Structure 1
């Protein structure tokens, strides 16, 4: 695709707890190109937020980076000091958090909160910074922005607060925007508005987005590529169409199966729970929950098998010697659609 601005290689992160070392992130690699949106999807506890916090240098005190690199324009962020990271955070890489109420200072007018990153990172004088804050407030769709710029967070609705949080994240025109479940606390209509807004702003300021979510449904209209995470590892990645219509990992099947579609309303939750990362399983971490698991799944971790130039999945089902199995009905339906889409492309 385009120019690569972020390259995460073999990232390993443990958490030191009273019970022992939790192996939270286990050999995770992915990249991000200029102007694209990468969605990282998985159940809670799969390691999505830990991964993105490591990009920002915001890991908890008990976190230990055991290995790997986070290359931003070929410079390893893991080697930077806290002071150096403070200059990158908010200016080059910004983050929208889940809950807008905890990200906003209740005692400070929102105009000042939006202007602050400009004053800090770009050394813009206060009057100019407030003028720019007003512009971005209009851009994120706050009505009567001139009047509202002097209001406090509690005077806004949840959806408006989330727009303000987005304004703060985007005011310095960061190269990378990390959105961690940015619409979880909002109702569906406002959720759709916020996602549309993010796409619109992305085109205007050419930022690249890493979008974290447990909801595959949100990803369809949002992402270019998708990485599916499970038990601290990426188990499948590909273009949004490949993951939606031609998924190969049983965990991705499970996630898609538990998602409502227009045709199917009988949702199936994935049985069981993710493994304990204090003592990760030897083989495929999904084996215990996988109805298609084979003997080898309990013995050996699967490597990534190539499905296409852009699509890889870590499952033994893709091994040439694996038995041919029929995926769930919903997945078969999607794969047929995918074949039709691909056939049209070839015409």
Structure 2
């Protein structure tokens, strides 16, 4: 499949009173046409910073793209002028934020907010934009679109507001849709509805999706490929089956082990020990080493390269070096893998 977006050796820093925070450190990935790529990791791992850099929405006063390329449609977005980026944002690449209430203007009717990108990017008349808006409201599952068109965001529930935000993001049939934890602010039952809606819409409009989440359980149902981020780096990337059935990085093992399960008999849920490193002073070796019970001396001295597991699966861990001792994933990982497989077979 053809790549629609490529991120190459991206390095991003934030300049603070304490010094330079190296938030993104050499990130590489590509997004293929029509696929969903999930980026997972703990808070602070760099997921949202990476995607906001693609949209060029990082604060200009204290953030800096130090090096790297963001290639889209033959253009390097990392070095595009703001004027040219305005033609890309909302038209070719759209973003769904976490909290629908802060994404919508409370003083403007919902219909007008959906119409705005259609008029701006597609030079549509007001009547054409209204017709398209009513279609979008219906498409995202909002009943009585004519009536809802005239209402304000406070008249919608949280789930319905998120549907409106999705309608705005899809207004111009973007080639890439970035969903930044779009279900975090919603309750569990509404989360499932929104995720199902996104899968249906992707088939209808044939867009590529970057799905940001800290919840591996969500990933299993929506993604084609998964990139695992830690401390500003991608530490493992592969198809969803490879990440769940054959995870290679100890951090991925930790994330899978910490997934809650309905049939779990453990009294306590597993948690990865320790905390992520301070990126004001990034570690010399593997950033995960202080939290990794399988860490070797080399982990403290040198960053591991991306080792190839298969044509689609790579992981940055010294455990994949030919001279490294053979280490099996923890029992909790094997258990979660079986549960995941049973869940997939039961669908």
* TM band (smaller chain): over 0.9
Aligned residues of 1:41 and 1:215 also touching (Cα < 8 A) = yes
Aligned to 1:44: 43
Q: C-alpha separation between the residues in 2 aligned to 1:283 and 1:174?
A: 39
Aligned to 1:248: 248
The runs of 5 or more residues in structure 1 that have no matched partner are 341-347
Aligned to 2:29: 30
TM-score (norm 1): 0.95
Q: C-alpha separation between the residues in 1 aligned to 2:32 and 2:19?
A: 37
Is residue 73 from structure 1 mapped to residue 73 from structure 2 by the alignment?
Answer: yes
Q: C-alpha separation between the residues in 1 aligned to 2:90 and 2:212?
A: 18
TM-score (norm 2): 0.95
Aligned residues of 1:284 and 1:297 also touching (Cα < 8 A) = yes
Secondary structure of 1:220's counterpart equals helix
Map residues 1-347 of structure 1 onto 2, 5 A cutoff: 2-61=1-60, 62-266=62-266, 267-333=269-335
Q: C-alpha separation between the residues in 2 aligned to 1:255 and 1:334?
A: 11
Cα RMSD after superposing both structures: 1.5
Task: Give 1:251 deviation, angstroms.
Answer: 0.3
Q: C-alpha separation between the residues in 2 aligned to 1:296 and 1:68?
A: 27
User: Can you list the C-alpha shifts for 1:41-90, whole angstroms capped at 9, x where unaligned?
Assistant: 00000000000000001111211111000000221011211010001000
Moved more, 270-279 or 69-78: 69-78
Task: Give 1:337 deviation, angstroms.
Answer: 8.8
Aligned residues of 2:36 and 2:222 also touching (Cα < 8 A) = yes
Aligned residues of 1:246 and 1:338 also touching (Cα < 8 A) = no
Q: 1:82 to 1:317 in 2, by over 3 A?
A: same
The number of residues matched between the two structures is 339
Secondary structure of 2:167's counterpart equals helix
Aligned residues of 2:69 and 2:78 also touching (Cα < 8 A) = yes
User: Can you list the C-alpha shifts for 1:193-222, whole angstroms capped at 9, x where unaligned?
Assistant: 000000100000000000000001000010
Q: C-alpha separation between the residues in 2 aligned to 1:97 and 1:89?
A: 14
Q: C-alpha separation between the residues in 2 aligned to 1:308 and 1:280?
A: 29
Q: 1:145 to 1:336 in 2, by over 3 A?
A: closer
Moved more, 223-232 or 75-84: 75-84
User: Can you list the C-alpha shifts for 1:5-54, whole angstroms capped at 9, x where unaligned?
Assistant: 10000000010000000000000000001100000000000000000000
